[in-house]
Chains A and B, each alone.
Chain A
Amino acid sequence: KQEVTQIPAALSVPEGENLVLNCSFTDSAIYNLQWFRQDPGKGLTSLLLIQSSQREQTSGRLNASLDKSSGRSTLYIAASQPGDSATYLCAVGHFNKFYFGSGTKLNVKP
């Protein structure tokens, strides 16, 4: 069974810092990997989707990388802002299912 782990569980940084969130998975036979953010009391908002044949995806200040062979993905957030404060989850698509990590709770201090 696919296991997805996210480290750290929580992170607090001052505004303006660049930061990296980590996601690891145990089975490299994945279709894709998706990063989401979740605001309190809300559902998940998709940030980036990396197909298994891709190495990275970029959207604005966000960059996600994928290394299938090592079972790792990173989400890089440049010039963090207080509005980036949320929980970030990664999910790997495997056949018809998605397996989620427990998330990293990010707090960006003004």
Chain B
Amino acid sequence: GAGVSQSPSNKVTEKGKDVELRCDPISGHTALYWYRQSLGQGLEFLIYFQGNSAPDKSGLPSDRFSAERTGGSVSTLTIQRTQQEDSAVYLCASSLGGGRQPQHFGDGTRLSIL
């Protein structure tokens, strides 16, 4: 596709369940970012993938959060044993690489934990 695609667009789940969020970046983009945006807040960096390098996981808030990127393309963000404070919009962005290139964002997944 032409842009970054995220699925699902909305996810409602019960506290304690695991969730998987998917991001399909723009073809050819080597860098992929996950961010979290809580209501009325700015974007909080979660994790960054660049090519085949080890990901920068420094923004993950707890060990319940993990992410992988298969084949340098699609990425999945997994949240285990969800808590109510995990409710937020999770945004994915891709770029041609590094901090010098513009980022292109998907429309996000709105996650609600009951």
Query: A residues touching B (Cβ–Cβ < 8 Å)?
Result: 4, 31-32, 34, 36, 41-46, 49, 51, 89, 91, 93-103
Q: Which residues of A contact B12 (CB under 8 A)?
A: none
Q: Report whether B99 and A98 are in contact in the complex, using a CB–CB cutoff of 8 Å.
A: yes
Given A43-B91, A44-B91, A98 and B42 contact (CB-CB distance below 8 Å): no
Q: Which residues of A contact B41 (CB under 8 A)?
A: 102
Q: Report whether A102 and B42 are in contact in the complex, using a CB–CB cutoff of 8 Å.
A: yes
Q: Report whether A98 and B103 are in contact in the complex, using a CB–CB cutoff of 8 Å.
A: yes
Dominant secondary structure of chain A at its interface with chain B? strand
Extra pairs beyond A41-B110, A45-B105 (7, CB < 8 Å) = A32-B99, A43-B105, A51-B100, A89-B43, A91-B103, A96-B50, A102-B41
Interface residue tally on B, bucketed by range: 20 to 34
Q: Report whether A43 and B99 are in contact in the complex, using a CB–CB cutoff of 8 Å.
A: no
Q: Report whether B45 and A97 are in contact in the complex, using a CB–CB cutoff of 8 Å.
A: yes
A107 to B: closest C-beta gap in Å: 15
A36's nearest neighbour on chain B, judged by CB, is B105
Q: Which residues of B contact A100 (CB under 8 A)?
A: 35, 42-43
Residue in B93, B99, B103, B107 whose CB lies within 8 Å of A42? B107
- Asked whether B65 is an interface residue with its Cβ less than 8 Å from the other chain, the reply is no
A41 to B: closest C-beta gap in Å: 8
Q: Report whether A94 and B99 are in contact in the complex, using a CB–CB cutoff of 8 Å.
A: yes
- Asked whether B16 is an interface residue with its Cβ less than 8 Å from the other chain, the reply is no
Q: Which residues of B contact A95 (CB under 8 A)?
A: 99
Q: Which residues of B contact A36 (CB under 8 A)?
A: 105
